[in-house]
Amino acid sequence: MKSIVSDVYIKRLTTQELGYRRGRLMTGGYFYISKSAVGTFFKELDKYVLNDFLKLDFNDPLEPNNIIQASYVYHNDKYARENGTRNEYRIYHNRDIAKHELHFQPFEIVVFIKENDDNYKIEHFTPRNKEYQILQKAIEESKIRGNHALLTKRKYYDLISAYN
């Protein structure tokens, strides 16, 4: 079990997870979740229940006091089926999370902030946002492989407030 619990999960979006194939938008999108964030930020799901999932509540960034939901799924056929290969966590986009197909773009940054065990706030930064570069630096300095970082709320708000 991982011992450090984080309040903030930062990820830079990739073309693959946003549904781009050969430079064109072809499929629905999702947020790929690093296994480093499972158990430290998001709940662990049952590895022996095929495609175990939870509905996560998010505070709607466009309508304060409105709760929206998205499916958090553990694609786990590596453990749940003979000859399975998949072992990854995803949060799938829907019209509540992504208002349209182009809502999120490759290389933008999404920040998940844990409000409590069952509720999250989501923030979205494009390269035009002044906070983008500091968040990109946090990802680059992260010990998590890929486009991810885990922080405490204090560290996150200290970084963001430096640019306000």
Angle at 142 between CA 141 and CA 148, to 5 degrees: 125
- Domain ranges in the chain are 8-161
Axis-axis angle for helices 132-141, 153-161 (nearest 10):
140
Residue ranges for the chain with pLDDT beneath 50: 1-2
Angle at 147 between CA 145 and CA 148, to 5 degrees: 75
In this prediction, residue 101 carries a pLDDT of 79
Phi, psi angle pair for 133, to nearest 5°: -65, -40
Cα gap 5→3, rounded to integer Å:
6
State pLDDT tens for residues 14-39: 999 998 888 888 888 999 999 999 99
In this prediction, residue 61 carries a pLDDT of 79
Q: Name every residue whose Cβ is closer than 8 Å to that of residue 35 and which is 6 or more positions away in sequence.
A: 88, 89
Whether pTM exceeds 0.85: yes
In this prediction, residue 4 carries a pLDDT of 64
Q: Is the dihedral of CA 164, 32, 3, 140 positive or negative?
A: negative
CATH T-level fold of 8-161 = At1g16640 B3 domain (2.40.330)
